[in-house]
Amino acid sequence: MDISIVIPLYNEAESLPELNSLIEQVMDKNGFTYEIIYVDDGSTDDSWKVIEALKEKSPAVHGIRFRRNYGKSPGLHCGFRRAQGDVVITMDADLQDSPDEIPELYRMIREDGFDLVSGWKKKRYDPLSKTIPTKLFNATARLFSGLKLHDFNCGLKAYRKEVIKSIEIYNDMHRYIPYLAKNAGYRKIGEKAVMHRARKYGASKFGLSRFFNGYLDLLTLWFTSRFGKKPMHFFGLLGTLMFLIGFIALVVVLTMKFASIIGAGELRPLVTSSPYFYISLTSMIIGTQLFLTGFIGELIARDSPQRNSYTIETEI
């Protein structure tokens, strides 16, 4: 099979018939063998009934229905697990992604040799309240990931089958699939400017909270990718630095105390009257806690079944 199209959706009953028709036209025109996998993320409208009706008309249509709303990442995870095509393409169900982009995305994977091609909505039909946070979010994602992509969160992406079978998407990590692929060893990641169309039906299902959550998820992914198997390298270093700061402050306190004892003056200030005493006490306690956190993290990582999980490309 040439292409698997995975479409997660939530309350998109109005757009599904038109979207399915557009996809079928593109597939038939280019002679692709394909499947369309709709993942209904607990919709409360008639989305599932529409998917059932589309399935009756076309054997290429498949559906997965969640009992409740889990989010986009679980939808993609289940869709990827079922996909069988050599190239897997994801797109949103709101008609803002154009199926006309599919042939070129497929060509870039099959002929140009990309592992992943991410769409870039260069010209967006969104309000400033959405585009400005998006630009800031993408700039931060580029900084942390090292990937020079303009639009990490674009739903229109293409993958080699091996890529989606090698990565695990969880929580809200769908925003960072290129970063996940890079961490899994797939380095040939490209980008294509794609058409962004104005929403035709319904309203956006995402609020501003996704940007705040996105930053937290990015920090989590960055930390686990760099220190997931060696937490002591992070917590141990911070703990050692904090302990050294506390130790230096303690030396200052003791030096001041000895100087006051040796001096001829009758006024001998208490150790607790110096701010360095509290700096030393606090820093040494925090340093010890951080070091022990790293030690406990190492014990947990040592017992993890994934501690020696590596991706082997070839063997001879």
Q: Is residue 275 part of a domain?
A: yes
> Tell me, what's the pLDDT at 249?
87
pLDDT tens for each residue of 144-155: 888 999 988 899
CA distances from 243 to 209, 234, 279 (A): 37, 14, 10
Q: Are residues 33 and 150 in the same domain?
A: yes
Q: What is the number of structural domains in the chain?
A: 2
What domain range is 250 assigned to? 232-302
pLDDT at 63 over 90: yes
Specify the pLDDT at position 271.
74
| Same domain flag for 204 and 262 | no
Residues 90 and 119 in one domain: yes
What is the C-alpha to C-alpha distance for residues 256 and 271, in angstroms, rounded to an integer? 9
Q: Is residue 181 part of a domain?
A: yes
Q: Examine the pLDDT at 266 and tell me if it is beyond 80.
A: no
- The confidence band for 115, taking pLDDT boundaries of 50, 70 and 90, is very high
Give the model confidence (pLDDT) of 224-264 as tens digits. Answer: 888 877 888 889 899 999 999 999 988 888 888 787 777 65
pLDDT at 35: 97
pLDDT above 90 covers a percentage of the chain that reads 52
Q: Per the domain annotation, does 59 fall within a domain?
A: yes
Could you give the angle at which helices 16-30 and 47-57 cross, rounded to 10 degrees?
A: 30
Residues 6 or more apart whose Cβ sits within 8 Å of residue 195: 98, 100, 101
Q: Is residue 129 part of a domain?
A: yes
Q: How far is CA 134 from CA 109, 147, 178, 181, 305, in A?
A: 26, 16, 17, 21, 37
In a domain, residue 131? The reply is yes
Same domain, 251 and 219: no
For residues 214 and 260, state if they share a domain. Answer: no
pLDDT in tens, 71-96: 899 999 999 999 999 999 999 999 98
Q: Which of 243, 225, 230 is nearest to 283 (CA)?
A: 243
Q: What pLDDT was estimated at residue 274?
A: 80
Angle at 34 between CA 195 and CA 30, to 5 degrees: 60
Same domain, 272 and 157: no
Question: What pLDDT score does 79 carry?
Answer: 95
pLDDT at 206 over 80: no
Residue 314: predicted pLDDT: 58
Indicate if 172 and 51 belong to the same structural domain. Answer: yes
Q: What is the mean pLDDT of residues 259-272?
A: 68
